[in-house]
Structure 1
Amino acid sequence: MRLSIRNRLTALYGGLFLLAGLALLVINYALVNSSLPDAAGFVATQPFSTSVPYPAGATGADAPAGAGPALARPPHAIRAATEIVVSDYRSTTLSTLLVGSAIALLVAAALAVFFGWVMASRTLRPLHTITSTARKLEAGRLDRRINLDGPGDELKELADTFDGMLDRLGESFDSQKRFVANASHELRTPLAVQRTLIEVALADPEAGPELRKLGEHLLLTNERSERMIEGLLVLARSDRGLACRSPVRLDEVVATVVETTAAQATEAGVTVETRLPARTVAGDPVLLERLVTNLVANALTYNFHGGWVHVEIGGDPALTVRNSGPVVPADAAAAIFEPFRRLDGERTGDSRNAGLGLSIVRSVAAAHDGEATARPGARGGLIVDVRLPPHGDSTRS
């Protein structure tokens, strides 16, 4: 069984107090023992008169038969009686001291454990704050700080160091996101120019077959690059979080996306079925539409001719997209959310996609205080669940 630091500190406090109490008890016992008179020594140092009479009328055990006032006690009897009394007094005193000290030590040890528990809890409270803050941090959510109040001790220094580290990490991530967004934006113009030049060249009636073949290949490559740049822009935007939120009817967004992708579904020979009860979430309608579009497009692209796609809105998860298709290894399902990550086999066969679709899904879900998870279907394909907080339950603005 693993003990927490608080339990260990409590045990340490209680154990140290118990050892100190035992040492105090031994010292006290030794001092009292040395201060009490020894029976034999005490009797040896006392003068006893040989003319001490028995009390008048003493009978039985108090005096021998026929004893009277004229009879005196023998000195050896007086010494023996005194030695017994002193010995009993010494034994009784030491026993009382041991019992009383043991009871007091147990009570004090119990109080020491209790107060040790309280002290350990108060001492470790800043560490719990640091741990709680660290658990809530993500690459896209570095805005939380500990801001620990209190004396300038080691824990305050640790919390301030942690906050300073978060400041530096936040600046680094923001700089990286700005670079991606700016670079993606700057690349869109030359790609558009290239596409225009290629289309003009293909429109030339004197263009030969080889030139047309090369032009079509360049157009496909250019189109894929444009989709990748557009995906990077959306990814950078969603990673920066949401500036504002508004109520969004998720069922209406899904219905619009399904209608928009109907031609793609017909071309792929895939049947799309939906179950769309009313559901309102708080977020950005443009980003949510991109999330749903990427999920549906991914389910249509990596599917069989004659396959199916089920899109369902629920409570938790808010959105579930299931599709038939090739078997997805269980250990590789979570990896498909990484940028530019594709699985082996047929899921890598379509070179038109940049590998950012599900990365954008995860990023948009995280920006809405939700999450996206994936798992393999029982008979192949993929099941993607998206959890989104309902309108009014969002924790970040």
Structure 2
Amino acid sequence: MKLRTRLTAWYAGVFLIAGVALIGLNYWLLAEWAPFNEGVVAARALPTYPDAIEVAQLPADTLVITADQVKASTMSTVLWQSIIALLVAAVLAVWLGWVVAGRVLAPLHEITSTAHRLEATRLDQRIELEGPPDELKELADTFDGMLDRLASSFDSQKRFVANASHELRTPLAVQRTLIEVALGDPGATDEVRRLGAHLLDTNERSEKLIDGLLLLARSDRGLATRGLVWLDETVEDEVESCVSLAASKKVTFDVSVRPYLVEGDPVLLAQLVGNLLRNAVLYNKPGGTVSVRLDRDLVVSNTGPTVPAEAVPGLFEPFRRLRDRTGTAGSGLGLSIVQSVARAHQGSVKARPNGGGGLVVQVNLPETGVRQPS
């Protein structure tokens, strides 16, 4: 039950309790009232008798009513009229309570709608509630102050990520260049060449790790740009880019997609699909397959080693891998990036062990109502 409904029910309940108490008080006071201590009342369609007379002196067709009957009739009439009036007033009280509760809760609805519009890249929304300095205005001002601090914090984080990207990439690029120059020396010995190849491989791993960390930080901040992206075309492009890797691992693809339009960042969505496909190839067995299905969800499964069910949740944590996966070229960020990108697009990711070995990863992304023209 919503707060507005509960407040209306409280208003109406308090009004009904007060109304019933008032009717009871009036009925009790009326019960103590005696219009005639004793005697009778005579009523006839004749001129009123000026003084009290004996009943025997009245005409035979005169209606005679006792004082108790007058009192009982009056009390009954007042009671029923009061109940009817109370019911009518209760309906008005419910309506007025609903209106008043709506006006009282309007600032809270404004706060809620502002919170729904907020994103990591859209922290410029403010409530700026007008009105007297009451509790609701204090709440709105506190919320605006919190948004100011969050905006400042996210701006600092963006600058840090940009600076870190530059500062970390530059020395790695310099190291790679120096190693390549040393390897290009005709006088380099076989030992130097083996060492150089090892250093190049380590340098490449470090670059991939930095790229993964920066991408993870970017997706955690939310979407900087939005656009309509055909997810099926992204899947086909990423499958094509993974063909050479799959051929080197003797893995084949089984792809089935349909037109699927989503709203989001095309670069991040390509990273999501690419990470899923590369993980499915790297953690597969020779002669295995990678199944890609895009219908209501994007489902990628492989035929790799057996994955314990209790180990699946940990695979979405950064740098978490199974023991038999540590020998691969992965950095342990693939599924973490997939989950972060999906959340940035208001989607979700879940995984389960594949029967017979391997992993099944299911990604749900909100599909737009637009359909590709036939």
Q: What is the TM-score of this pair, normalised by structure 1?
A: 0.73
Task: Give me the whole-angstrom Cα distance separating, in 2, the residues matched to 1:313 and 1:347.
Answer: 27
Indicate the SS of the match to 1:355. coil
1:32-47 equivalences under 5 Å are 32-37=30-35, 39-40=37-38
Cα RMSD (Å): 3.9
Which of the numbers 19, 31, 36 marks the counterpart of 2:17? 19
1:204-353 equivalences under 5 Å are 205=187, 207=189, 209=191, 215-238=196-219, 239=221, 241-243=223-225, 245=227, 248-279=229-260, 284-314=265-295, 316-317=296-297, 319-328=298-307, 333=312, 336-338=315-317, 340-350=318-328, 352-353=329-330
Return the offset for 1:298: 1.3
Task: Give me the whole-angstrom Cα distance separating, in 2, the residues matched to 1:137 and 1:364.
Answer: 17
Distance 1:53 1:308, change over 3 A: closer
Distance 1:56 1:290, change over 3 A: closer
C-alpha contact (below 8 Å) 1:181/1:232 kept by paired residues: no
Distance 1:170 1:323, change over 3 A: farther
Return the offset for 1:31: 3.9
C-alpha contact (below 8 Å) 1:333/1:376 kept by paired residues: yes
Q: Which residue of 2 aligns with 1:375?
A: 351
Task: Give me the whole-angstrom Cα distance separating, in 2, the residues matched to 1:159 and 1:328.
Answer: 49
2:64 pairs with 1:87: no
Return the offset for 1:240: 5.6
Return the offset for 1:188: 0.9
Q: Which residue of 2 aligns with 1:70?
A: none
Distance 1:126 1:323, change over 3 A: farther
Return the offset for 1:17: 0.7
Task: Give me the whole-angstrom Cα distance separating, in 2, the residues matched to 1:279 and 1:96.
Answer: 72
Return the offset for 1:241: 2.5
Indicate the SS of the match to 1:303. coil
Q: Which residue of 1 aligns with 2:92?
A: 111
Indicate the SS of the match to 2:304. coil
Flag the structure with larger Rg.
1
C-alpha contact (below 8 Å) 1:371/1:387 kept by paired residues: yes
Moved more, 261-270 or 5-14: 5-14
C-alpha contact (below 8 Å) 1:328/1:382 kept by paired residues: no
Return the offset for 1:364: 4.2
Return the offset for 1:4: 3.7
Return the offset for 1:95: 2.5
Task: Give me the whole-angstrom Cα distance separating, in 1, the residues matched to 2:84 and 2:100.
Answer: 24
Q: How many residues were matched structurally?
A: 357
Task: Give me the whole-angstrom Cα distance separating, in 2, the residues matched to 1:56 and 1:250.
Answer: 102
Return the offset for 1:300: 0.7
Indicate the SS of the match to 2:363. strand
Q: Deviations over 1:171-228 (max 9, x none)?
A: 212311321231122111111222333445556656574x666555443332211111
Gaps of 5+ in 2: 42-50
Indicate the SS of the match to 2:324. helix
C-alpha contact (below 8 Å) 1:370/1:387 kept by paired residues: yes
Indicate the SS of the match to 1:242. coil
2:362 pairs with 1:384: yes
Gaps of 5+ in 1: 44-48, 63-80
- Matched to 1:109, the amino acid is A
Distance 1:90 1:383, change over 3 A: same
Q: Which residue of 1 aligns with 2:8?
A: 10
Indicate the SS of the match to 1:187. helix
Return the offset for 1:130: 2.9
C-alpha contact (below 8 Å) 2:8/2:97 kept by paired residues: yes
Indicate the SS of the match to 2:66. helix
Aligned sequence identity (%) = 50
Distance 1:93 1:304, change over 3 A: same
C-alpha contact (below 8 Å) 1:303/1:381 kept by paired residues: no
Q: What is the TM-score of this pair, normalised by structure 2?
A: 0.77
Which of the numbers 155, 159, 167 marks the counterpart of 1:174? 155
Task: Give me the whole-angstrom Cα distance separating, in 2, the residues matched to 1:51 and 1:291.
Answer: 106
Distance 1:392 1:133, change over 3 A: farther
Moved more, 299-308 or 255-264: 255-264
C-alpha contact (below 8 Å) 1:126/1:148 kept by paired residues: no
Task: Give me the whole-angstrom Cα distance separating, in 2, the residues matched to 1:50 and 1:200.
Answer: 134
